Amino acid sequence: MAQNNRRRKSLLSQLWVQLLIGMALGIVVGCLFPGRTDKLGILGTAFIKLIRMMLAPIIFGTVTVGIARMGDLKTVGRVGVKALVYFEVLSTIALIIGLVVVNVVRPGSGMNINPALLDQSQVSGYAAAAPKPGAINFLMDIIPNSAVGAFAEGKMLPIILISVLFGIALSRAGPRKQQLIDLLDVFLHAMFAMVRIVMYLAPLAAFGSMAFVIGRYGTAKLVSYGRLMACVYLTCLVFIFAVLGLVAAVSRISLWQFLKYIKDEILIVFGTCSTEAVLPQMIVKLQNLGCEKSLVDLVLPAGYTFNADGTSIYLTMAAIFIAQAMGIHLSLADQLVVLAVLLLTSKGSAGVAGAGFVTLAATLASMNDKIPVAGIVLLLGIESFVNQARAVTNLIGNGIATVAIARWEGVFDDAKAREALANPTAPSLSDVAV
């Protein structure tokens, strides 16, 4: 009996178990008290805000140190080009898969929505925040008005630009650069320690988020939009096990073992709908898995901005779903325009609150009014539900991307990977190599 009690306590101390309990309790409370759980949503919102307040300095520190430690700028450039090529190829595949599935299943057919009856006030904020289409506008948005402003606003693209430039400058600073690199390492240790403290709140955040979503929208919303949600979830699963599974196999790593290795992070992302919440843990786990530290520090933060596979799947499906629901016929050429625009806009709103809707609004606005921007009102009710699928897909995609690029660069330690996957005990955030 004493041994069973010890096992039970040991199991309950696992973060993934606590997260499952939190989500289950949230679903029960949401079902029992529908419409009365709005205030519980603040638990998830507060958790994400706590993580986000640390994200900008963590990304700055990891990218800067990663580049500075590589030393050779040719290596930095080579890794950066390989990462961007990989991100663009995988994002394009995700967009195409989403486009094919939504055309085959046609989840919006038969809804016969009249665009004139939609309440555009609900989406005016997203439309106003949408980036202007075009490559020039996209590039100009990367450059911040001030370095301080980029950190204050939490915009990922400008922060990464500042980090890259500072890392390159630091790598050319001569022998004295080591003092600053060591100082940044100590700073990152402190930031990771702060994240470790905040992570104790993850089960509570998962409880609040699930109770809020179920209580606010109820199960009826799931049934009415069931076809679209099923399409998104099944397509994400196909992408994970087929496309990312193939990449994992080429990289000589078991996808299933990798998923078990990051199960805590998957559950946190599923419960909070935010990949940002687990960036520090993913950095530690990928280093522990055998990926070279400086490469992880450079590739993973960049992937959070440029490699949103789950979001890419959802965006194409959402755009075509709106057209189908309104009875709007889109030719193949029209759909290819949607695809081309999404290749750009899906990278342009990273770090913006409600980035999925912002990106979708920018895409629809560029379609010469073929698809009314007000159509995204149709998706407001299920945004939180589908966000779980795309966030988890984004997380797994970025983890596999880092492994693949490390393998591509020849800086992946197979022995370390075998040991980590065989004994997937979560490394502490304090275990980051100095």
Packing angle between helix 2-12 and helix 15-32, nearest 10 degrees? 70
For the chain, which residues make up each domain, given as ranges? 2-431
Q: How far is CA 71 from the centre of its chain?
A: 29
**Chain segment 96-127, per-residue pLDDT in tens:** 999 899 888 888 777 666 666 555 554 555 44
Residues of the chain with pLDDT under 50: 122, 126-127, 129, 349-353, 430-434
Q: How far apart are the first and last CA of the chain?
A: 43
pLDDT of 28 reads 87
For the structural domain made of 2-431, what CATH number should be given?
A: 1.10.3860.10
pLDDT of 381 reads 62
**Exposed (0-12), middle (13-18) or buried (19+): which is 134, by Cβ within 10 Å?**
middle
pLDDT of 426 reads 52
pLDDT of 352 reads 45
| β-bridge partners, 412 | 291
pLDDT of 3 reads 56
pLDDT of 26 reads 84
| β-bridge partners, 291 | 412
Nearest of 275, 69, 66, 85 to residue 160 by alpha carbon:
66
pLDDT of 116 reads 60
14: tokens are: 């696992």
pLDDT of 286 reads 93
Q: What is the DSSP letter of 430?
A: G
Model's pTM, two decimal places?
0.75
pLDDT of 83 reads 87
Instruction: Work out the number of other CB atoms within 10 angstroms of the CB of residue 409.
Output: 17
pLDDT of 351 reads 43
